[in-house]
Structure 1
Amino acid sequence: MSIPAQLSHLRLPVIGSPLFIISNPDLVIAQCKAGIVGSFPALNAREKDGEDIQLDAWLKRITEELDAYNQANPDTPAAPYAVNQIVHRSNTRLERDLEICHKWKVPVWITSLGARVEVNEAAHDCGGITLHDIINNTFAKKAIDKGADGLIAVAAGAGGHAGAQSPFALVQEIRTWFDGPLALSGSIAHGRSILAAQAMGADFGYIGSPFIATDEANAVPEYKQMITESSAEDIVYSNLFTGVHGNYLKPSIAKAGMDPDNLPVSDPSKMNFGADREKPKSWKEIWGAGQGIGAIDKVQPAADLIARLSAEYAAAKQALCNG
């Protein structure tokens, strides 16, 4: 099994997942400096008409700050960063955003909601690699056939858009035919869960929800606090809010005036990631989270969270070896 150079020297085998609205340069830079891949969705970088292109400004800042950090810390360089591209047909910004990412030679490209040959080619042309997120083995094979370098298995319990399959089943099926880079997403919020992901065949843990409750995250204080006060029982799986099934915090749904235990089903054909999409104002505070948040009990700097995960991972590995 070969790991691409971009992912071969992480201090902790973790990729921070791109969090819609929440991931920003502050969080990405903190994650990378602490030794894990930091990422953000390209669509998070938004500008008003007439303003400079925000994605270009974000990539300039991330690139320059990480370069400066690496020069000052040659023995402990930062991990690479990643940009997530929503490849759904409704994303009218995709072509422009691909050109900007190519210009800045983004090292890791994460693709979602569709596998496209031209996106993989754009990444490869500037020296990058692509990881495509999937929820089943069929989608995994399609992604690799279209040129993706690696996969992100989004299993049951993951925050935001998530699959329904057990991580054991999903990783097991993928590993019967694919030996390339594989990350696992789904309820990973403790160091021993990262080790467990590797034990079942993945190379990396793919962690999102715990980073919502960090100082750098672009989330309102109430959202961060709700993460620390909730557990797996407070998560509901629904496709109502985007047309794609995902996991959301029940208290946020109830606060918006809906019954989280009796939500209607959405029409997936109405899914829209374009700038013109409309949704009820009350949905602005429907907050996503994965089932692993029971391990999160406080809001803290991202570096402190990663240090905690690293210590837990090392302790779990030592305990397993001693056993």
Structure 2
Amino acid sequence: MKISNKMTQELNIEQPIIMAPMFLVSNEAMMKAAIESGMMGVFPSLNFRNEGELENVLNNLKEYKETHPEFSGNYGVNLIVQRSNPLYEKHLKICIDHKVPFYITSLGNPKPVIDLAHSYGAKVYCDVTNIDHATKCAKLGCDGFIAVGQGAGGHAGPSPLHLLVPSLKYHFPEIPIVAAGGIANGKGILSALSLGAMGVSIGTRFINSTESSVSNAYKQGIIDAKMEDIVLTEKLSGTPCNIINTPYAKKLGYKQNWFEKLLSTNKTTKKYFKMLVQINGMKKLEDAIRPNNYKTLWCAGQSVELINDILPTKEITERLLRELDEAYELLQQELLAVNLSK
């Protein structure tokens, strides 16, 4: 089944799939594999925080794309646009200087990204979890929405995709929608497309790719976990974030105490307190992905329920597309059977 729509055409990709940006997981090898597989590979700029790292990976990806015209994928960057991100302005300038072709913005006002990206023809999709935020992003001129629903890894939304995507489609019929949350097989892709999405964003499935450099324990944790093992925590960034409910996560707790909530909402302190929470959270997560670390804080979505192996990205993508074809054919057969029975 060949899918070509406004999203795939504008983003210059063959498949309607975005490899979701994952903090401390997404790496250069995964982005190159996404490009080879015909997808859009996106990484958080915060994965490359040391001096010169972001410039280096952007140079490498641009060169890889240019020297492999036979590959039908593309690459982009995820920017946390909250004021509490101390590297936001620096990373945005680096990305603009390197003419990154695609951006996903999260957790703040995307206007500077949209304006600068559009100055050279790049596209900007905004993470949204409700109609109010989507309305603000649409008025600012965003090119698409990442509809983040229940069950997504990392910063999940409160609404199920079967409500969020059709609602966005109704209010913004001309803006491409990408469904994110709980998708790990072809049936999930077909379901999202049937709701009105033009594509899907898949993260957790690609943590268990061979190109992913997280610890084997993390990957095994995804295989062992079930959907009920995914819990929301406020302890890592101040914003509810989905993780695997490991013993260490239980020990750490999931909710901010009353004093932490006070600091995170007070006009005077919230910027700096959120920055402190995020820095501490990043350090905890960075420690957790390393081998032989008992402080297991592993971000993942509820799609762990459907993940049972570790495969190269290309094989994962080929399986997803094969499953999509099979799911579509099965649906046609079932609809035909219903019609014949009438």
Secondary structure at the residue paired with 1:294?
helix
Of 307, 313, 321, which aligns to 1:310? 321
TM-score, L = length of structure 1: 0.89
Q: How far 1:250 moved relative to its partner?
A: 0.6
Q: In the alignment, which residue of structure 1 is the partner of 2:275?
A: 272
1:245 is aligned to 2:240: yes
8 A contact 1:16–1:31 mirrored in 2:
yes
8 A contact 1:15–1:207 mirrored in 2:
yes
8 A contact 1:20–1:41 mirrored in 2:
yes
In structure 1, what is the Cα distance between the partners aligned to 2:20 and 2:281?
24
In structure 2, what is the Cα distance between the partners aligned to 1:118 and 1:264?
31
Secondary structure at the residue paired with 1:217?
coil
| 1:241-264, Cα deviation, whole Å (9 max, x unpaired) | 21001211012xx1356176x755
Alpha-carbon distance change, 158 to 280 in structure 1, aligned in 2, over 3 angstroms:
closer
Q: How far 1:222 moved relative to its partner?
A: 0.8
Q: In the alignment, which residue of structure 2 is the partner of 1:92?
A: 86
Secondary structure at the residue paired with 2:104?
strand
In structure 2, what is the Cα distance between the partners aligned to 1:66 and 1:298?
29
Alpha-carbon distance change, 4 to 305 in structure 1, aligned in 2, over 3 angstroms:
closer
Greater shift, 115-124 or 147-156, is seen at 115-124
Q: In the alignment, which residue of structure 1 is the partner of 2:248?
A: 255
Q: How far 1:229 moved relative to its partner?
A: 1.2
Letter of the structure 2 residue corresponding to residue 7 of structure 1: L
Of 137, 145, 148, which aligns to 1:143? 137
8 A contact 1:107–1:129 mirrored in 2:
yes
Alpha-carbon distance change, 280 to 184 in structure 1, aligned in 2, over 3 angstroms:
closer
Q: Which structure 2 residues correspond to residues 1-323 of structure 1 after superposition, within 5 A? A: 2-3=6-7, 5-7=9-11, 9-10=13-14, 12-47=15-50, 51=51, 53-70=52-69, 73=70, 77-178=71-172, 179-251=174-246, 254-255=247-248, 258=251, 263-264=255-256, 267=261, 268=264, 269=270, 270-272=273-275, 277-279=279-281, 284-285=287-288, 286-323=297-334
In structure 2, what is the Cα distance between the partners aligned to 1:167 and 1:280?
28
| 1:143-197, Cα deviation, whole Å (9 max, x unpaired) | 1111211100100110000111111221122111212111011100011101100
Alpha-carbon distance change, 54 to 143 in structure 1, aligned in 2, over 3 angstroms:
same
Q: How far 1:46 moved relative to its partner?
A: 2.2
8 A contact 2:11–2:123 mirrored in 1:
no
Q: How far 1:32 moved relative to its partner?
A: 1.5
In structure 1, what is the Cα distance between the partners aligned to 2:154 and 2:244?
10
Higher helix share: 2
TM-score, L = length of structure 2: 0.84
| 1:265-302, Cα deviation, whole Å (9 max, x unpaired) | 5634432289x933596564211110011111111211
Letter of the structure 2 residue corresponding to residue 3 of structure 1: M
Letter of the structure 1 residue corresponding to residue 207 of structure 2: I
Secondary structure at the residue paired with 1:183?
strand
Q: How far 1:209 moved relative to its partner?
A: 0.7
Cα RMSD for the two superposed structures: 2.1
Letter of the structure 2 residue corresponding to residue 289 of structure 1: A
Q: How far 1:4 moved relative to its partner?
A: 6.6
In structure 2, what is the Cα distance between the partners aligned to 1:132 and 1:3?
14
In structure 1, what is the Cα distance between the partners aligned to 2:74 and 2:303?
25
8 A contact 1:109–1:129 mirrored in 2:
yes
In structure 2, what is the Cα distance between the partners aligned to 1:211 and 1:139?
28
In structure 2, what is the Cα distance between the partners aligned to 1:199 and 1:279?
37
Query: Percent sequence identity over matched residues?
Result: 33
| Number of positions where the alignment pairs a residue of Structure 1 with one of Structure 2 | 309
Letter of the structure 1 residue corresponding to residue 245 of structure 2: K
8 A contact 2:76–2:102 mirrored in 1:
yes
Secondary structure at the residue paired with 2:280?
coil
Q: Which runs of 5+ in 2 are unaligned?
A: 265-269, 289-296, 335-342
Secondary structure at the residue paired with 1:278?
helix
Secondary structure at the residue paired with 1:110?
strand
Alpha-carbon distance change, 273 to 185 in structure 1, aligned in 2, over 3 angstroms:
farther
